[in-house]
Amino acid sequence: MNWLTNFIPPRIRSIVGEQKEVPDNFWAKCPSCEKMLFHTDLSANHNVCHYCNHHLRLPVKERLVMLFDGGKYEVLETPKVELDPLKFKDKERYIDRMKRSQAKTGLRDAITLAKGQICGLDAVIAAFNFSFMGGSMGMAVGEGIVKAAQEAVKTKSAFIVIPASGGARMQEGMLSLIQMPRTMVAVEMVKDAKLPYIVVLTDPTTGGVSASFAMVGDVHIAEPGAQIGFAGPNVIKETVREKLPEGFQTAEHLLKHGMVDMIVPRKEMKNTIGALIGLLLQKPYTKDPKKNGRRDNDQTEGGSVQGADSSGAGSKAAAKGQANDNERAAARRALEQVRIAHAAVKKLGRNAGPQTDILQANDDQELADTAQMPVSGSAAGE
Ligand SMILES: [Zn+2]
């Protein structure tokens, strides 16, 4: 909403002319600050608004390029399942909806499975495509998670799931709901093999997905501002008839209440995941100096871009030094969070795997050393 649509009566507006829609092949509008962003700038910044740091949704392919070393990964085929077993029809036949989504996205279903390396360590990623029927979980998605978990166990890789989903796929009825326990068993296999299982909660993670595998990670990372919850806020509001707290169901709210371990900005995501895998497997890892895959834009935090650009090379180097300090601090905070999380798990009497040793044994100094290990490794090149 702006003043034009708020205050000018429709008749006058029709004379002045409606505000022209900006052609969206060049520009996108930030849903948070409503500033216009060049698609090329936005894409170079991993779909993060460089005015207000709002994290827009990121297509799966770009995310995988961002996370895997050198942007290289191998796609694992999504398992074939029976299409439309219930012959479901609402306003439209389910099979027609499916075909339309397949044509639109070029994908078989709402999940993409890939394997490669993150910071030099083997990883299998199962990522949801929200643009495919709202990332809903049906048989193919459940089957995909099972396959990815099996691959992780077979290749002794870390398992990372990146949900972006409205929940179970209603058109598959019970067959969709049964994917909740199935995926839980799948991730349990990974845990039994003492391999890390990390969940990266992106906007939105809701419904049956948040009620199953997405909430049982060894570590829960969330993207800033992501909506995470079970039922939508409007449904809850109408049911309980109470005012919901501010920031309800946001990543920040859940961090405060313990359901999320850390909120990580997109550009720190790769190195944070690499550090966590390295820590949990007690293996050395190589920090990516470009932070994320192949792209490198010399930005510090969102919003401070102009300041960094306007001055000379000296201040740019200073900004870089500052960014490194920030990273070190972020890594230390992240490791501290993981240590707290594992202490909590231990308290609950569950076996948290071999990683508990390192997490328990280390004092603050050791923690700081671990956090700095990859940083000092890459500092030589800078
Ligand atoms: Zn913005």
Query: Looking at residue 254, which CATH number applies to its domain?
Result: 3.90.226.10
Half-sphere exposure of 281 (CA within 13 A, CB side): 24
Ligand 1 center from residue 160 Cα (angstroms) = 28
Query: Can you read off the two tokens belonging to residue 223?
Result: 């993207």
CA dist list (Å): 340 to 214, 220, 224, 335, 350: 20, 13, 21, 9, 14
Low-confidence winner among 23-27, 233-237, 242-246, 265-269 (lowest mean pLDDT): 23-27
pLDDT at 357: 39
pLDDT at 313: 43
Ligand 1 center from residue 56 Cα (angstroms) = 9
55, 82, 98 - which closes a domain: 55
Kindly give, in sequence order, each residue whose CB lies less than 8 Å from that of residue 242, ignoring residues fewer than 6 positions away.
none
Q: Check residues 339 and 159 and name the one with the higher pLDDT.
A: 159
246, 277, 308 - which closes a domain: 277
Ligand 1 center from residue 55 Cα (angstroms) = 8
The answer on pLDDT for 281 being more than 90 is yes
pLDDT at 337: 67
> Is 97 contained in some domain?
yes
Ligand 1 center from residue 24 Cα (angstroms) = 16
Q: Where would I find the beta strands (DSSP E) of 40-162?
A: 74-76, 111-118, 121-128, 158-162
**Residue 232 pLDDT level (bands cut at 50, 70, 90):** confident
Beta bridge partners of 36: 29
Same domain assignment for residues 72 and 43: no
Ligand 1 center from residue 47 Cα (angstroms) = 10
Question: Tens digits of per-residue pLDDT, 314-352?
Answer: 444 555 555 556 656 666 666 676 667 666 656 655 444
Ligand 1 center from residue 305 Cα (angstroms) = 13
Low-confidence winner among 47-51, 60-64, 185-189, 374-378 (lowest mean pLDDT): 374-378
Query: Can you read off the two tokens belonging to residue 299?
Result: 């930005």
> Is 149 contained in some domain?
yes
> Is 118 contained in some domain?
yes
CA dist list (Å): 87 to 49, 90, 133, 134, 268: 42, 10, 17, 20, 44
Same domain assignment for residues 110 and 238: yes
Ligand 1 center from residue 106 Cα (angstroms) = 29
pLDDT at 324: 58
**pTM for the complete prediction?**
0.74
Ligand 1 center from residue 324 Cα (angstroms) = 25
Same domain assignment for residues 173 and 50: no
Query: Can you read off the two tokens belonging to residue 232?
Result: 């939508």
Ligand 1 center from residue 228 Cα (angstroms) = 20
| 56 neighbors 48 (Cβ within 8 angstroms) | yes
Ligand 1 center from residue 73 Cα (angstroms) = 31
Ligand 1 center from residue 173 Cα (angstroms) = 38
> Is 68 contained in some domain?
yes
Ligand 1 center from residue 274 Cα (angstroms) = 28
Token pair 């449904």: residue: 235
Same domain assignment for residues 43 and 96: no
> Is 320 contained in some domain?
no
Q: Which of 105, 151, 145 shows the shortest CA–CA distance to 129?
A: 105
Phi then psi for residue 74, to 5 deg, are: -110, 130
Q: State whether residue 116 is helix, strand or coil.
A: strand
Q: State whether residue 17 is helix, strand or coil.
A: coil
Low-confidence winner among 24-28, 214-218, 281-285 (lowest mean pLDDT): 24-28
Half-sphere exposure of 219 (CA within 13 A, CB side): 27
Ligand 1 center from residue 112 Cα (angstroms) = 28
The answer on pLDDT for 137 being more than 80 is yes
The answer on pLDDT for 365 being more than 90 is no
Same domain assignment for residues 245 and 140: yes
Q: Check residues 240 and 311 and name the one with the higher pLDDT.
A: 240
**Residue 26 pLDDT level (bands cut at 50, 70, 90):** confident
pLDDT at 25: 73
Ligand 1 center from residue 1 Cα (angstroms) = 15
Same domain assignment for residues 203 and 127: yes
Q: Is the peptide bond before 204 cis (omega within 30 degrees of 0)?
A: yes
Low-confidence winner among 58-72, 76-90, 200-214, 364-378 (lowest mean pLDDT): 364-378
pLDDT at 206: 95
| 221 neighbors 200 (Cβ within 8 angstroms) | yes
Domain containing residue 167: 60-277
Ligand 1 center from residue 224 Cα (angstroms) = 13
Same domain assignment for residues 228 and 100: yes
pLDDT at 322: 55
Angstrom distance (rounded) from CA 51 to CA 380: 32
The answer on pLDDT for 363 being more than 50 is no
pLDDT at 289: 84
Mean pLDDT of the chain: 81
Low-confidence winner among 121-125, 268-272, 302-306 (lowest mean pLDDT): 302-306
> Is 318 contained in some domain?
no
Token pair 């995909």: residue: 144
Ligand 1 center from residue 90 Cα (angstroms) = 37
Kindly tell me the number of DSSP H helices and DSSP E strands found in the chain: 16, 9
Query: Can you read off the two tokens belonging to residue 96?
Result: 């027609």
Query: In a 10 Å sphere around its CB, with 0-12 CB exposed, 13-18 middle and 19+ buried, how is residue 25 labelled?
Result: exposed
Low-confidence winner among 65-79, 149-163, 283-297 (lowest mean pLDDT): 283-297
Ligand 1 center from residue 32 Cα (angstroms) = 5
Ligand 1 center from residue 36 Cα (angstroms) = 8
Same domain assignment for residues 41 and 77: no
pLDDT at 295: 46
> Is 358 contained in some domain?
no
Same domain assignment for residues 164 and 256: yes
Query: In a 10 Å sphere around its CB, with 0-12 CB exposed, 13-18 middle and 19+ buried, how is residue 40 labelled?
Result: exposed
How many domains, in total, are found in the chain? 2
Ligand 1 center from residue 7 Cα (angstroms) = 24
| 86 neighbors 175 (Cβ within 8 angstroms) | yes
Same domain assignment for residues 33 and 132: no
> Tell me, what DSSP letter sits at residue 135?
G
Checking phi first, is residue 378 left (phi over 0); if not, alpha (psi -120 to 50) or beta?
alpha
Angstrom distance (rounded) from CA 92 to CA 291: 44
**Residue 195 pLDDT level (bands cut at 50, 70, 90):** very high
> Is 376 contained in some domain?
no
234, 250, 277 - which closes a domain: 277
Q: Which of 116, 190, 111, 192 shows the shortest CA–CA distance to 152?
A: 190
pLDDT at 146: 98
Same domain assignment for residues 37 and 93: no
| 145 neighbors 213 (Cβ within 8 angstroms) | yes
Ligand 1 center from residue 31 Cα (angstroms) = 7
Same domain assignment for residues 159 and 79: yes
**Residue 296 pLDDT level (bands cut at 50, 70, 90):** very low
